[in-house]
Amino acid sequence: MHVGLIVLYCVLGIVGALLLFMIARTFFVRPKKKETERFLCAVDKEEAARILSGAVRVPTVTAYKEGDDQTPFLQFHEYLEKSFPLIFARAEKTIINKYSLILKIKGKNPDLMPGCFLAHQDVVPAAKEGWEVDPFSGEIKDGYVYGRGSQDMKSQMIASLLGLELLLREGKEPERTVYYCFGHDEEFTGKEGAKFIVKYLLENNIRFEFVIDEGGTMIDGSMVGIKNRQVALIGTCEKGYADYLLTATRDGGHASSPKRKSSVDEIAEAVYDLARSPMKRTFSKPLKQMYRTLAPYMNPIYKFFMVNSDLLGWFLRPVLGFINPILNATMRSTFAFTQLKGSDAPNVIPVKASAVVNVRINIGETRADVLKHMKKVVGKRIEVSEMENTFDPSPVSLTDTETYATLVRSIEEVYENFVVAPYPFIAASDSKWYYSVSNGVYRFTPFVYGKDDQKRIHGLNERCKIDGLGRAVVFYRRLIENLCYGENKI
């Protein structure tokens, strides 16, 4: 027999055996059978809406520069105290760096480590132009509370506080000490809020069994090949953040006699080269965990590829990255070019031109890796410097703990027909600061947002559905009960 045919048959045999292996592997991955008893609780969602409406009316806009008015944060503290009298009657209140807030509600069992619920008080700015209502009116209409912060994230703060307030109204005191930590500049990296809160906790030897913050999302399962079910994602980590300044320097001059290449040309080429030369896509540990968890519920085609992602990653990574920008962001460090500067006059060729690159650093990479890549791509003629307020990706919280299992169970008890999975949070939150005081930092936002409402976050006509707010209160009531009450010895 011809040698070429022998080689061909061998290759076909290997490919066939591998294909059979992958098919068999897919077949044996099936959903785990488990019965979760539904938790039902009557909640006055209109009360929650009224409290959220009042919270939105206090304009706690992030202070981006020295001299910005921050007195609304003090007004907000007063508002919270009036809205949640039972919590504040029991709480030890500590003000951190003038405007951040810690509430400590002491539990009955000192042997249990405390638990912590995070939220940020600050909201991004909102001009009135383009809004259907005044962005700080907290107007209630058509089943929604409108206004800046109604989604990000005063709704979650109100839901978490009201969840405990309801338990206290029933005369139930927590076994575990409960902390609420509310920073005042999360939208500006938390360097004046969460950072100082954690400093205080470290100085007082306070550690947490768990930290729960915003960040996970709830999506339609069809987006990931799961039919007739929805998906709840718990962020077990978050990407890093850095801004890099690219600077080109060349002789300037009058625009009437341009030279062959100017500093603006150099910067334009650098931006183009970086856009065409991104960092590699990878399946990080939390991304693999997400695919493994979701795979049993996917349709056969999605399931085949997800179960065998370790063998088919070379194919999956570019395909998934091309299909969806969010999936692309979960697999790589992303470059967003946000600011360009050249001359101050239209007829002057500048000596210096610059560009700012906003980078969200993938899990498993560092700022040093990003800097090395950028310098290699743009070459020696471009100066690359790291700007302020940067940080590497966070550690990855464990998913084989009782805390994580309790969080999953609490979601399943309140939200029917959901598949719960871990995932890497692609944005930034105050959570990143808390790994020094807890090994269990988790991000989850208990609101189901459609595409229309997702684009309202930080945008025009931000709003929170009152039905969804009521369900979030039920969730927090149950979560706090599961984590902080009874004989739960997490």
Q: Dump the DSSP string for 40-65.
A: -----HHHHHHHHHHHHHS--B---S
Average pLDDT, the chain: 92
State which of 7-16, 34-43, 236-245 shows the largest mean pLDDT.
236-245
Is the pLDDT reported for residue 10 higher than 80?
Answer: no
For residues 393 and 10, which has the higher predicted lDDT (pLDDT)?
A: 393
Q: Give percent of the chain with pLDDT exceeding 90.
A: 75
| 252 and 349 Cβ atoms separated by less than 8 Å | yes
Is pLDDT of 306 > 80? yes
Helix axes 309-323, 300-307, angle to 10 degrees: 120
- The mean-pLDDT minimum among 95-109, 168-182, 378-392, 448-462 falls in 448-462
Dig out the tokens for 87 from the structure.
Answer: 């919590």
pLDDT in the model for residue 25: 80
Q: How far apart are CA 185 and CA 189, in angstroms?
A: 7
User: Is residue 356 predicted with pLDDT exceeding 50?
Assistant: yes
Instruction: Summarize the confidence of residues 329-354 as an average pLDDT.
Output: 94
pLDDT at 488: 47
Structure token pair of residue 324: 């969806």
Record the pTM: 0.91
More confident call, 6 vs 257: 257
Q: Reply yes or no on whether the pLDDT at 245 is more than 50.
A: yes
Which carries the bigger pLDDT value, residue 6 or residue 152? Answer: 152
The pLDDT of residue 9 is 62
* pLDDT of 7: 66
* Both structure tokens of 191: 């360097």
| Alpha-carbon dihedral sign for residues 411, 412, 416, 417 | positive
Nearest in space to 286 (alpha carbons), one of 322, 325, 222, 238? 238
CB 398 within 8 A of CB 440: yes
Does residue 212 carry a pLDDT above 50? yes
Specify the 3-state DSSP secondary structure of 245: strand
Q: Which residues of 67-92 are buried (b: 16+ CB within 10 A; e: fewer)?
A: eeebebbeebbebbeebbeebbebbe
Q: Which residue did the predictor score with more confidence, 427 or 373?
A: 373
Calpha distance 338→300 (Å, rounded):
41
pLDDT in tens, 63-88: 988 888 899 999 999 999 999 999 99
Region 168-179 average pLDDT: 96
What is the model's pLDDT at position 489?
46
Each residue of 371-407: pLDDT tens digit? 999 999 999 999 999 998 899 999 999 999 999 999 9
Cα(484)–Cα(118) distance, integer angstroms: 15
Using 50, 70 and 90 to split pLDDT, how confident is the model at 42?
Answer: confident
What is the secondary structure of 294-334 as a DSSP string? HGGGS-HHHHHHHHTHHHHHHHHHHHHHHH-HHHHHHHS-E
d(CA 299, CA 294): 10
pLDDT tens sequence across 464-474: 999 999 999 99
Cis peptide bond prior to 153, omega within 30° of 0: yes
Distances (CA, A) of 55 to 82, 153, 448: 11, 11, 21
Tokens 């809205």 -> residue: 83
Q: Which two tokens stand for residue 346?
A: 């239209």
CA distance 277 to 378: 10
Query: How far apart are the C-alpha atoms of 28 and 44, rounded to whole Å?
Result: 45
Catalytic residues: 122, 186
What local confidence, expressed as pLDDT, does residue 1 receive?
55
The DSSP letter of residue 187 is G
The predicted model gives 403-425 an average pLDDT of 95
Other beta carbons within 10 Å of 116: 27
Burial (Cβ within 10 Å: 0-12, 13-18, ≥19) of residue 245: middle
Burial class (CB in 10 A: 0-12, 13-18, 19+), 13: exposed
SS3 397: coil
* Nearest-5° Cα angle at 405, 422 to 169: 115
pLDDT of residue 454: 83
Q: What is the mean pLDDT of residues 180-189?
A: 95
- pLDDT tier at 310, thresholds 50, 70, 90: confident
Angle between helix 45-57 and helix 71-83 axes, rounded to 10 deg: 160
413 has pLDDT over 80: yes
CB-count exposure of residue 288 (10 Å: 0-12, 13-18, 19+): middle
Euclidean distance between CA atoms 60 and 150, whole angstroms: 12
Cβ neighbours for 171, distance < 8 A, ≥ 6 positions apart: none
Q: Retrieve residue 156's tokens.
A: 């979650």
β-strands 178-183, 115-120 pairing:
parallel
Residues present in the chain in total: 490
- Residue 96 C-alpha from the chain's centroid: 24
